[in-house]
């Protein structure tokens, strides 16, 4: 059984993952409107990943005899100045999610809940990848100055991204 403090904190994390889903869908819509369908694809895949993350937390709460409680989801930003801004904001958001998961891990350690700690290890590792992906694309966008043939090449590269649910 989950301690109430962990259940409450995981419920908060579920809502943060769902917000991430919503945020990335907004970013996909912006990219699509800019004619960057590959960039839009990148964020649509992010939407699927965030949904997967939210559902892992959702299922974990129930597996541990807890209760999921969902809150309202805030409207995400919808207007951006450039693809670079979109990725810079997504990188900052991923850093926020990393901090949130680390705080959740700290609570699991404090509560001496080994099952939750084991469960959270996957998310700790996943966040390293999430931040790295965003940082890499930011660096590419800066190299090409967000213009010209470089944008077209990056758009094509991002169009090839697919979601493959992790085997856990």
Tens-digit pLDDT profile for residues 30-42: 999 999 999 999 9
The model carries a pTM of 0.95
CATH homologous superfamily, domain 4-159: Ferritin, core subunit, four-helix bundle (1.20.1260.10)
Whether 70 contacts 14, CB under 8 Å: yes
* pLDDT given at position 147: 86
Q: What tokens does 89 get?
A: 């904001």
DSSP single-letter state for residue 81: S
Mean pLDDT, rounded, of the chain: 96
Only one residue has tokens 């990188």, namely: 91
Distance CA 68, CA 71 (A): 10
Domain boundaries, the chain: 4-159
Distance CA 122, CA 67 (A): 22
Rounded mean pLDDT of 143-148?
90
* pLDDT given at position 31: 98
Distance CA 65, CA 58 (A): 11
């Amino acid at each position: 059984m989950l301690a109430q403090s962990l259940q409450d904190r995981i419920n908060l994390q579920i809502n943060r993952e769902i917000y991430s889903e919503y945020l990335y869908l907004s970013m996909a819509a912006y990219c699509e409107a800019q004619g960057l369908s590959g960039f839009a694809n990148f964020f649509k895949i992010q939407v699927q990943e965030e949904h997967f993350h939210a559902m892992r937390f959702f299922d974990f709460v129930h597996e541990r005899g807890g209760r999921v409680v969902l809150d309202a989801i805030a409207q995400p930003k919808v207007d951006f100045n450039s693809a670079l801004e979109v990725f810079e904001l997504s990188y900052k958001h991923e850093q926020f999610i990393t901090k949130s998961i680390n705080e959740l891990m700290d609570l699991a350690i404090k509560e001496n809940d080994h099952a939750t700690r084991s469960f959270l290890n996957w998310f700790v590792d996943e966040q390293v990848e999430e931040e790295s992906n965003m940082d890499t694309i930011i660096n590419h966008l800066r190299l090409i100055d967000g213009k010209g043939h470089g944008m077209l090449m990056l758009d094509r590269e991002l169009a090839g991204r697919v979601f493959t649910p992790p085997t856990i």
